[in-house]
Structure formats: structure tokens, C-alpha cells
Amino acid sequence: MDIHEYQAKEILNKFGVAIPDGALAYSPEQAAYRARELGGSKWIVKAQVHAGGRGKAGGVKICESEHEIQDATNEMFGRRLVTHQTGPEGKGIYRIYVEAAVPFEREIYLGFVLDRSSQRVMIVASSEGGMEIEEISAKKPESIVRSTVEPAVGLRDFQAREIAFALGIPSELTQQMVRTLQGCYRAFTELDATMVEINPLVITSDRRILALDAKMTFDGNALFRHPHIAELRDKSQEDPRESRAADRGLSYIGLSGNIGCIVNGAGLAMATMDTIKLAGGEPANFLDIGGGATPERVAKAFRLVNSDENVQAILVNIFAGINRCDWVAEGVVQALQANPVDVPVVVRLAGTNVEEGLKILAKSGLPIIRATSLMEAAERAVSAWKNDLSQNTRMRIVK
């Protein structure tokens, strides 16, 4: 789960990371009022969206008067901000963060991520901040500092000082840098985060170390331990298909193809998507209905996939071990009887109670295309989609 910049800053500040003064606004008038509260003569207004590259897309503005703040935020509110991370559809701007401008001398990149190869938290830092880590890696790879934290002891002061020295932090600011690193690490581990990024972390003209921007991502499977973090979720920034799936306990990722997938097991779901592409199609989603695929759960998955306007065929691929094929078949029949679909449906069942499942599909009288292998199912789904598309095209021509 992602959160907004202002939320990440509030969290990190509680763990000892220094941040500039700032306040949230939901209208241009409120943004100007926030600037008056903050004081000063220059402010930064930032669109709060779950994406990087906001500055290049016009989502970050420097303002020197309340009039400029109102003009800048008036252009932002309600607009969809398109960056290289959002895709062409962009993300809606419904919140603005107003921050007091801070003069600074240096920018630093600081990130905490989970390194799956070493199964450790890795700190990635660079003396060349203000740009994305991919750009830093390409242009100045020698500036990147990496340090892995031993989980048995955590981030020790000596390790934090080594990172500070490697980044060229002045000696009088070393302790501030250690405090910042320790705060980020504690926030990462105590809140079950999967990523903490501060870019840029700056050295100000008055010799402070401040986080000018911050991002945090959390492990969705651990949110039950942190209800105060779960409350920070902003559904307006999420794919509506993924939000609906999460609310129904389904693991779903929307894609740009047109063949909907309903599969049990993440590995089988990945294999199904690969096979669809091999057969000449494009998957519309990743959907894992999990181990307990009851008829009701399968029906929910069907309604979710069918709600995607891009879906022009549906492939159900179930290998039943913990599941039962007859349950899945009942769910498919229930879903199609309650909400008939106008796209081809291909079902491949294997495993526990497969004969009973196939009988249920056959007795239903529904136009379900059956397959015995994954490759056959993918080929039939692609073929059915193309035939259906061709038929619809001919019908439009006749009309």
C-alpha cells in the first residue's frame, strides 16, 4: 500500500526525521490560508498523488505570493497528473501540500528497500540527490552507497556513521545524519514497510538535514497489525478494479489486455498469462482467487473480471488441490446465471473432483467452452475472442 508524501513525512517525523513546516489543503483558498499560517515569503505547493516525477509534470510549483498559490492550486485541483509512473490515464489531484520553501546547499538520495537476494534491509544512498535512483545509477553509478543491515542487531550507530562518511556529510552534521538513518530504519521495520525513500534529503543553508520529499510503501499483508497505517489508504489513487478486489479479499492486478483470467495460485496465474501471450492474446489481469475457492468466491471473481470493459473473453484455469473443481464449477455457473456475460468463457479444470466439475458445467446448458490443458485453454480463449470480435465487426457492417 502506498501513501501520500505528507503522510510519509508525518510518520518519519515521529521517528526523528526532520521535515520542513507544511500543511494540507483541499481548495485554492485553503492553500493560501495555509501559506499565511506557515509564514515566510516563498512556498512550495505539491500535488499529492501516488507517483514520482511530479515536478516535470507540473505537479510541484514554487510560489512567492498568495495570489500565485491560488493560481497554481486552481490549475492542479481536479486535474489528472500524468507522469512516467502513472501511465497515460494519470492520477487525480484532490489534495495539495503547502510547504515553506527552504534554501539548501546539497541534495542527497536516501532509500531503504527489502533486498530479497540477501533477505535483509538494504540502504541505498547517493550524494547526487534530486533525481530518480534509476537516473543516478545510469549517470553517476560511482556515487551510490549500499549497505545491508544485519537483522539480529539492526542499524548500529557505527554503520550509520560509515554511510554518512561515504556520502561526504560534514562532521558537524554527522549526528543529524545518524539520527535520520536510524529514524528511517525504525519506521521501516516497526511499521512493516517495504520501501522508504527520501529524495531529496537536503543540507540547508542553516546547517540542518531535512527531508524535502518522502515516499513509503507498506506490506499489505501486515496492515492488520497497523490499523492506523491502513486508514491512510487513498482509494482515489488506486486502480478501481484493484480496490474492488482488495475489498473482497481477492488478489488482483489490472493489465492492459483483453482476456480476463480467473486462476487459483500466483504461480499458475503467471503461467496462464504467459500462455495467453504465447497463444497470441493479451491478459487483462492477474487474479488469484486463492486456496479456498468456494462458489461464492468464484462468483465474486467473475463479477470483478466482467466489470472490466476491456475484457473480451474470460479464461478460468483451476488446478484443484486444496480447492475442489465442483466448487469452482458451481461458482462459474452461479455467476453466469446471475449475471450473463456477452463474451466467450473458457474453463479448464484439473485435480480434485474434476469429473464432478465437468458434469456441472455440461448440465448447466451455458455456452461454456471446456479445455483439458492450459495450452488448449489459452488457444481456445484467444480463438473465441478473435471469432467474437470478427462477428461483432460483421454485425456492425451489416447494420
- Cα 379 from Cα 17, distance rounded (Å): 55
| Cα–Cα distance for residue pair 71/62, rounded to 1 Å | 12
Between CA 146 and CA 159 the distance in angstroms is: 11
197 assigned to active site: yes
**Residue 53 annotated as part of some ligand binding site:** yes
Catalytic residue among 6, 109, 185, 252: 109
**Is there a binding annotation on residue 178?**
no
Residue for grid cell 516525477:
53
CA distance linking residue 257 with residue 1, whole number of Å = 24
Q: Is 199 among the annotated ligand-binding positions?
A: yes
Residue 244 annotated as part of some ligand binding site: no
Any known ligand binding at 55?
yes
109 is catalytic: yes
Q: 229: part of which helix (H) or strand (E)?
A: helix 227-230
Report the C-alpha gap between 108 and 26 in whole angstroms: 30
Please tell me whether the peptide bond between 200 and the residue prior to it is cis, using omega within 30 degrees of 0.
yes
Strands of the sheet with 43-47, listed across from one edge: 22-25, 96-100, 43-47, 60-63
Residue 264 labeled ligand binder: yes
CA distance 284 to 295: 22
Per-residue DSSP letters for 109-138?
Answer: EEEEEEETTTTEEEEEEES--SS-HHHHHH
Angle CA 143–44–105, to nearest 5? 35
Select which of 197, 242, 330, 379 is catalytic: 197
Residue 102 in marked binding region: yes
Q: Which of 111, 95, 293, 105 is nearest to 185 (CA)?
A: 111
User: Of all residues in the chain, what percent are helix, strand and coil, respectively (each to 5)?
Assistant: 40, 25, 35
Would you call 72 helix, strand, or coil by DSSP? helix
- Residue 107 labelled as part of a binding site: yes
Q: Which residues are annotated as a binding site for ATP?
A: 46, 53-55, 99, 102, 107
Bind-site residues: 46, 53-55, 99, 102, 107, 199, 213, 264
Catalytic residues: 109, 197
